[in-house]
Structure 1
Amino acid sequence: MEKRTWKVLQIASTYMGTIVGAGFATGQEILQFFTRFGYWASLTITLSTFLFIWLGSKMMIIASEIRAKSYEDLNIALFGVRYGTIISYFMLVILLGVTAVMLAGAGTIFYEHWDIPYQIGLLLTIAASFLLLRKGMKAILAVNAIVVPVMLLFTVIVMIDTYQRPGSGRFLTLATDHSPWAAWASPFLYTAFNLSLAQAVLVPLGAKIKDRKTIALGSWVGGIGIGFMLLAGHIALSLHMPGIQQYSIPMGGIAKQLGYSIQFIYVFLIFSEIFTTLLADIYGLTLQLQERLKLSRQWITFSILVICYCASQIGFGPLLSTLYPLFGLISMGWLILIIRKRITHLRS
């Protein structure tokens, strides 16, 4: 029983750490996908939570049943060899792009918050990534075991502070000029983008777990945790609307009001979220390329880091604004396909 509980917590923490990335820490994802839609946001966050529980569990159970070595194996099992291979090529490009964005973001954190040159920040992040990824999935589980409790601590502190302020229930009545159609499309876009990227680490994680009940429980705990953090961020941001939309890092403005120690936790949280996403993406890329190239894992990991280092010279902002809209569109197509697919088809 204790062993199952530990595995459930490992799945849940890795799920939360992979999904609730740097976008949550900065507040931009919550603001763009939920808070700007006013009182609709509480309901759309609930829908996103349901989708994360359902589709995250579905993805990992399928990976467990077929013993998938990488996300390409999952896509081929779901969509056939032809379309599954095409989708996997798209995911390869997406993951490379997102990895470059995360690396650039890490370098920016070093420069803007710790007064360390951008290039040195990139190299330090690359070195740490390479050393940790030599241990494979164990490294990702260990990093998330540290980062996720810090995320939850920060979320609880923000929640407590928000409820002590006048107007804490404003999220229930917050007006919006956006249409209900846009509001209800948003959770699907948010779930699609995050889950399509998360498969890089959730597929090999699910393949290592043989017990379906453990996977399902882990998805429930992880999905509810994601929903709780999204709702907490939304409630805090709603209190400061519409002025909070002026900030490039909305949660930064809230963190400053809570004192130096909370601000330190916040900066650590942003870097940690970037770092966990970076590790997960590189790990997934390495597993897929290893099947094709038959090279050692260390050489593939090193090559990916070099490519992303070169791409990160473009800068965090330009990479983010150029690549993410394209990735969102492709991810939505992937989400529709995986919703329509039934697990029973695979067994037959």
Structure 2
Amino acid sequence: MVKGIGRTLQIAFTYIGTVVGAGFATGREILQFFTQYGGWAVAAIGLAALLFIWLGTKMLLMAQAIRATSYEDFNKHLFGDRIGRWISTVSLLLLFGVSSVMLAGAGSVFREHLGLHYQIGLAVTLVLAYFVLSNGMRGILAVNSIVVPVMLVFTCIVVVHTWHSPTQGNWLHLAGDAAPWRAGLSPLLYAAFNLSMAQAVLVPVGASVDGRKPLIWGGILGGIGIGLMLLAGHYALSAQMPGITQYDIPMGHLIAGLGVTVQLIYIIMIYAEIFTTFLADVYGLMLQITQRSGLPSRWVLLCLLSLCYLVSQAGFSHLVDTLYPLFGVISLAWFSAMVWRKSAGGKLV
């Protein structure tokens, strides 16, 4: 029983760590998708949480049912061989772009927050990533089992600090200028984008687990955890509205007055969230390229990490600006297929 509970929590933590990435740490993602909509934000977060619970669990169970080797197998199951292969190819390019950006972000954390050289940050991240990914899914599960509880602790610290603010009630009564239909669309876009990215890890997780119960409860707890962390972020950020919108890293402004210890936890959390996203993306790439090429996975991993390092030297912002709109369209197509696709048992999970 204890082993089953531990497995369930590993799945839940990995789900949370894959979805709640660097965008949560900075706060920009929460502001963009939720807080800017004022009083509609809570309902939007609730809808997003339900989608994460439903579709995340469904993805895990479908991956187990078809024994998917990689997310390409999963996409072929959703769209058929031809379209699924094309979507997987585009996803591969996008995942590589995001991986390079995450690596560059890790270097920036070392330079801007720790006063160390950018290249040291890249080197440390690459070595750690190689060590973790060499252990496959077991390594990713272990890292998220450590990182996500730390993220939850920091989230609680921020909530407690906001609780004593005279504007702590803003999260329920904040006025928003955007049209209600945009607030309704926002959680769909947020869930579609993040779930389609998360398939790089959730699909192999589902395929590697025996039994449905750990996947069901792991998906439910993971979706609830994501929703609670989004709500906590919105609660804290809304108390500082509208002035908080002027900062590139809004959460950094929130913790500025909480002391050196909390700031250090925040820096560690930013790096940890970047690192878990980097792990997830590179792992998904490694599985797909290994499946297509037949090359040894460690050689593929070394090549991927080396290419990410080269790209991170020049920056990747222009390419990401070009690819993200395309990825948004693909995410909605993928999201629609996930909603309507029946499970192996013929039911909409």
Smaller-chain TM-score bracket: over 0.9
The residue correspondences of 1:173-252 to structure 2 (distance < 5 A) are 173-252=173-252
CA distances 1:93-150 after superposition (whole Å, capped 9, x unpaired): 1111110110111111111111122122212211211122111111111111110011
- Secondary structure of the residue that 1:97 maps to in structure 2? helix
Residue in 1 aligned with 2:139? 139
Residue in 2 aligned with 1:26? 26
Counterparts of 2:106 and 2:43 in 1: how far apart (Å)?
33
After TM superposition, the structure 1 stretch with the greater mean CA deviation from structure 2, 96-105 or 334-343, is: 334-343
The residue correspondences of 1:146-185 to structure 2 (distance < 5 A) are 146-185=146-185
For the 8 Å contact 2:97–2:320, the answer to whether it is kept is no
Q: % of aligned pairs identical? A: 54
Residues 227 and 310 from structure 1, CA distance in 2 versus in 1: closer, same or farther, beyond 3 angstroms?
A: same
Residue in 1 aligned with 2:266? 266
Q: CA offset at residue 317 of structure 1?
A: 5.1
Counterparts of 1:317 and 1:294 in 2: how far apart (Å)?
32
Q: CA offset at residue 268 of structure 1?
A: 0.4
State the AA in 1 paired with 2:69. Answer: K
Residue in 2 aligned with 1:46? 46
Counterparts of 1:67 and 1:124 in 2: how far apart (Å)?
34
State the TM-score, normalized to the length of structure 2: 0.96
Residue in 1 aligned with 2:339? 339
Counterparts of 1:119 and 1:325 in 2: how far apart (Å)?
30
Residues 289 and 223 from structure 1, CA distance in 2 versus in 1: closer, same or farther, beyond 3 angstroms?
A: same
Residues 202 and 112 from structure 1, CA distance in 2 versus in 1: closer, same or farther, beyond 3 angstroms?
A: same
Counterparts of 2:95 and 2:106 in 1: how far apart (Å)?
16
Runs of 4+ in 1 over 6 A off after TM superposition: none
Residue in 2 aligned with 1:94? 94
For the 8 Å contact 2:286–2:297, the answer to whether it is kept is yes
Counterparts of 1:7 and 1:264 in 2: how far apart (Å)?
30
Counterparts of 2:138 and 2:305 in 1: how far apart (Å)?
19
- Secondary structure of the residue that 1:343 maps to in structure 2? coil
Residues 263 and 59 from structure 1, CA distance in 2 versus in 1: closer, same or farther, beyond 3 angstroms?
A: same
- Secondary structure of the residue that 1:176 maps to in structure 2? coil
Aligned residues: 347
For the 8 Å contact 1:77–1:346, the answer to whether it is kept is no
State the AA in 1 paired with 2:230. Answer: L
Q: CA offset at residue 320 of structure 1?
A: 5.1
Residue in 1 aligned with 2:313? 313
Counterparts of 2:254 and 2:316 in 1: how far apart (Å)?
23
Q: CA offset at residue 318 of structure 1?
A: 4.8
For the 8 Å contact 1:101–1:319, the answer to whether it is kept is no
State the AA in 2 paired with 1:121. Answer: G
After TM superposition, the structure 1 stretch with the greater mean CA deviation from structure 2, 253-262 or 227-236, is: 253-262
For the 8 Å contact 1:16–1:222, the answer to whether it is kept is yes
Counterparts of 2:243 and 2:337 in 1: how far apart (Å)?
39
The residue correspondences of 1:62-77 to structure 2 (distance < 5 A) are 62-77=62-77
